[in-house]
């Protein structure tokens, strides 16, 4: 998880998980639409799962 991805996850979460697949993008987009904080948390979890 690079610093650029973390900053991108905070600014616009769906764009940070763009290369993780369609499901990750949709989940993050829906959670971001429900509220910014759930979208950021989901993006960070998805990015951290790649370790």
Does residue 1 carry a pLDDT above 80? no
Angle between helices 3-11 and 36-49 (to 10 degrees): 160
Does residue 31 carry a pLDDT above 70? yes
Residue 11 CB partners (closer than 8 Å, separation 6+): none
Residue 34 belongs to domain spanning: 3-49
Helix (H, G, I), strand (E, B), or coil: what is residue 51? coil
Average pLDDT for residues 18-38, to the nearest whole number? 94
User: Domains in the chain: how many in total?
Assistant: 1
* 35: confidence class by pLDDT, cuts 50, 70, 90: very high
Does residue 28 carry a pLDDT above 90? yes
* 49: confidence class by pLDDT, cuts 50, 70, 90: confident
Chain centroid offset of residue 49 CA: 11
Evaluated on CA atoms 49, 10, 39, 17, the torsion sign reads: negative
């Amino acid at each position: 998880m690079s610093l650029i991805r973390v900053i991108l996850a905070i600014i616009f979460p769906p764009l940070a998980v763009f290369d993780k697949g369609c499901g990750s993008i949709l989940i993050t987009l829906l959670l971001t639409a429900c509220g910014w904080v759930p979208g950021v948390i989901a993006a960070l979890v998805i990015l951290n799962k790649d370790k």
